[in-house]
Homo-oligomer: A and B are copies of this chain.
């Protein structure tokens, strides 16, 4: 279940309340798109800005409108007891798993973070995705800490930040993590711009911002990377290294087509750009981000509209 493409929908706000119609519209689009899973209330879903009650409601709406596609729910919060309350509401909603980032205000130690994952895995039977996103959490996992956490019962997957651009370095990085994990724990790449590289380097799953709003181009990248997905990467490696290289090149080519989009992500951050795309396509109301986050200004929006047109995504 923790493989393939996991799409992260926005949680659009309207007048500082969750726009339930817009949110369920995004989820239904994903349910129809062929993505492998939907992760509600990821960073893209603005989980950190929402109240516990809003989060419980969004989790419930996500599962109700996902048409049977597995839904993972972000449960991160600054205080362990609040995380556990979010886990309760994810369970009640019928989530297939939870995503947990060690968000911080005071800097966290490795022991703090291990204790958090111990508390959560002890408190639920739902599989847990470890969410390593230092750009927002300001906590950096060591490979050793991955290993300590992955030993806990219930850990299903680790969402790592983007991989190095160099293919050999990327493969080494993923292999180095793989070497310390139990076999059942999958590795997922985030950082959409380097997702093709991550998949080529051996990641099992792409936890994707863009797929939450534009699933089709994300699926093209995934499918190019997995043309031979009946075989495991390992079998393919033994059988046909040339074929594997072809797939990596094809995925890289699909990703390169989206270079103008990745450029906008780098410039404004993926959340602000994705919100502008959803607003442009009528999938979210204007000014759908939680204040103080401002959406792109009119110049930025014009550039987004131009890129959507250029890439025939509008």
Contacts and interface: CB of A to CB of B under 8 A. Distances in A.
Interface in A30-64: 43, 48-50
B81 A115 contact: no
A26 to B, nearest CB: 18
Which label, helix, strand, loop or mixed, suits the secondary structure of the A interface?
loop
B269 A106 contact: yes
This protein's copies in its complex: 2
A107 B135 contact: yes
A90 B74 CA distance: 31
A236 B285 CA distance: 59
Interface stretch (A171-179, A224-232, A289-297, A303-311): A289-297
A81 B293 CA distance: 12
A50 to B, nearest CB: 8
Contacts of A115: 291-292, 294
Nearest to A52: B51
B292 A108 contact: yes
A136 interface: yes
30 contacts: A16-B81, A43-B105, A48-B78, A48-B105, A48-B106, A49-B78, A49-B79, A49-B105, A50-B79, A78-B290, A79-B291, A79-B292, A80-B290, A102-B292, A105-B136, A106-B136, A106-B269, A106-B271, A106-B293, A107-B135, A107-B269, A108-B293, A109-B294, A111-B294, A112-B292, A112-B294, A113-B292, A115-B292, A116-B292, A119-B291
